[in-house]
Structure 1
């Protein structure tokens, strides 16, 4: 099951081209590029391309008057080594060849397209000094549906050097293309490091995972609302006065949506219990931090995909170059760590509600929602699958920011590991989707068995949609197809 991009493919022929200007790219744009079935129609904004050209001319001029890292020198611990005059093109190709040592599996086509779009947008922020013809070639590759062969491994959160070197070599005519190609372009010393000096691959994967987790957060509220009805929940836990007394934004938003889904605009009837288990009663307090963390992650990623990250930064307005550390992605790593940790807590409540749904004391139904001869197992297996997924999510939620690395002969003595955090976010999203699917299968089954009255409850639409998609048979049988169908259904539930 694809755990990240589950939307239908974008029809590029019917969509207007995306104008890329280095300032206004959105997370949704990145995900749309990842989901595209073919070409990603892009147009570099003329003013941004002209500004990139001015930065390129300035960088070229500065390189004749002062030391510019990576242009007139080696890189890393070789930063003091001067490049011989007249060796510019050869130096640039050597840098790309030496850094194009990616390993592991091939990067997925979706992530590759998203990486290319992010890098194009960053280059159009006009701080790299990359030649305009290289930027145009990258845009042409996206527009033609050409995709280079790029490997996943080779970054630690201080620049996606290996993947971007592979992309640059493809544009230069030396690297491999997985699909399509464009005419080779000249790449010199001024283009090589500047093109690699970005975390575009990491940002692409982080954005795809962040949008997926956002979508699952919305779906989880619908699933929790269905479980609430199946369990005869107590509405007091979501009441407006309760959350006005401790108004954390995410918590307030969660409670408000639960009230909307459950039709609580007027005074709702009391539940069966004076207090519900935490899976229902503490849902706003536990999901609130996740909603806040996901919002912060989206804000961080929006800044990063529109940032001039290259070292050195070329500033045409200031007519100078600045050596810095924008390639370091501590913000991204920290935001991803927080997002995964808070989503894990919400997932724990989903597993807890599933446990409540198979308990007769809470539903008034048979153990494990069984229907058949005595000893029938019903949905017993769902708890095992759910806790398997929860364990996988727990492992993926472990923080990456507690580690570091010292490389390049001690010169680069810290790493964010945002790349690994993004990969773990993908794994977390996949596990959370499977877990929510298990709860959804059980909640819908319980509601069918109880013949629950949902006439005036807004979440009724979700129940009816689930009844259309999920097998209605109640006898003991394999539930694999049910879980798969429920996992796909979550995308539709998120939109309710």
Structure 2
């Protein structure tokens, strides 16, 4: 049961909503509904005695055009903004968007009608999903996706799955519903949680490679990381010590200095852990924030015009997370190169086992570098873009929407990189018959071994890579 009260929604709840096909258990706060109704009545009253953007005026560059606060004005706004294009938004993304928007509206500062909130809550609860398109936002409000969703609630646009009885649009409902980045936040949250899982899984993958390569434990020693105690770096080193059973003085490695893939892992993984932690903190604020412009304050009995629709926090946090994850992925590819090198493993080149000239896992390096290149493209900063729209009145954009899409692409590429390393590490450990009995990382080896083909003959590795991707979430929990 997910509590929806405008204050306590969690990133994990958003993931649950995205993954749930069909009815979703939600507990909508009665107190929050009453507060939202109070704000609706205040917004109606304010519109009779002062200028209120989007209610008594047009929007964007039409802000100085006086209009009658009416149902017709609201419907025109929704219809004109429901111009999304491109591919259909993925089902999980839409479900997450609807939950976030419902939670934001229940913060009680939008001035939206209780009927529209009720219809949205019913859609979330029953799993009804409107047709929403992917394109139509640049990080200053998800106008097109939310307008499409609002018109579905009114009965003017189609539902892909299920439906709710149509409700009328009240005066002021249109902008109140659209003034949010709920779609962008949904994709950003799903990507952030996936990146969190993948980086946690990467500890286990790196630990398996460490054992296969007889790594030097000094690189993870407590005194080393106490000397430069960045939070993520310290946490990574501690996790590696845990997985590798370094409670006592561990035996020396084969080399005085390991390649950077092992030796510098905490120093490179640390910034990624810190960046993802910061990203989750930002998103935890955003999914419970009131971003509506104007904001209706029942405490101060007034409306406030502002720029909470601008999502610079989200876009810069996403850019940082993708950049740091790319560096971690580079180390994974480097370790894969070490795993196919006889000098490091004592095994044949490419972990081959057939006649001379057998290729073994040679193709994994090509696959990993291909995926790494895609990740590199996804890591390019979205915040370097610029946009001037609406006749110059909106002269900056955060491009958090594009940053979130890039984060989704980064997840897909990074998991392929990790999967390639995992396939090679497990094969190397099998061929060496490494003793993992007393190490916690043995659980990761067993989980991966259970899904990876034990054959070392030259053969297609496509299914092995897919199986390795599928087990990463389990490795993250070890």
TM-score band, normalised by shorter chain: over 0.9
Match of 2:173 in 1: 191
Match of 2:383 in 1: 401
1:22 aligns with 2:6: yes
Contact 1:43 1:139 in 2 (8 A): no
Match of 1:256 in 2: 238
1:81 aligns with 2:65: yes
Alignment RMSD: 0.6
Tell me which stretches of 4 or more aligned residues in structure 1 moved more than 3 Å: none
Match of 1:69 in 2: 53
1:58 aligns with 2:28: no
CA distance in 2, matches of 1:346, 1:447: 22
CA distance in 2, matches of 1:147, 1:100: 16
The one of 8, 32, 36 equivalent to 2:20 is 36
Match of 2:283 in 1: 301
Question: What is the 5 A alignment of 1:3-18?
Answer: 17-18=1-2
Match of 1:125 in 2: 107
Aligned-partner SS, 1:97: helix
1:327 aligns with 2:309: yes
TM-score by length of structure 1 reads 0.96
Query: Could you give the per-residue CA deviations for residues 262-293 of structure 1, whole angstroms, max 9, x where no partner exists?
Result: 00011000000000000000000000000000
Match of 2:205 in 1: 223
Pairwise CA distance, 1:189: 3.3
Question: What is the 5 A alignment of 1:232-381?
Answer: 232-381=214-363
Pairwise CA distance, 1:19: 2.3
1:206 aligns with 2:166: no
CA distance in 1, matches of 2:454, 2:171: 64
Match of 1:384 in 2: 366
Gaps of 5+ in 2: none
Pairwise CA distance, 1:433: 0.3
Gaps of 5+ in 1: 1-16
Question: What is the 5 A alignment of 1:175-186?
Answer: 175-186=157-168
CA distance in 1, matches of 2:54, 2:383: 28
The one of 393, 398, 401 equivalent to 1:419 is 401
CA distance in 1, matches of 2:3, 2:114: 16
Aligned-partner SS, 1:152: strand
CA distance in 2, matches of 1:189, 1:352: 59
1:101 aligns with 2:101: no
Match of 1:7 in 2: none
Match of 2:459 in 1: 477
Select between 138-147 and 322-331 the one with higher mean Cα deviation. 138-147
Contact 1:351 1:387 in 2 (8 A): yes
Query: Could you give the per-residue CA deviations for residues 386-418 of structure 1, whole angstroms, max 9, x where no partner exists?
Result: 000000000000001111100000000000000
TM-score by length of structure 2 reads 0.99
CA distance in 1, matches of 2:235, 2:171: 51
Contact 1:21 1:124 in 2 (8 A): yes
Pairwise CA distance, 1:143: 1.2
Aligned-partner SS, 2:382: coil
Contact 1:93 1:188 in 2 (8 A): no
Contact 1:90 1:188 in 2 (8 A): no
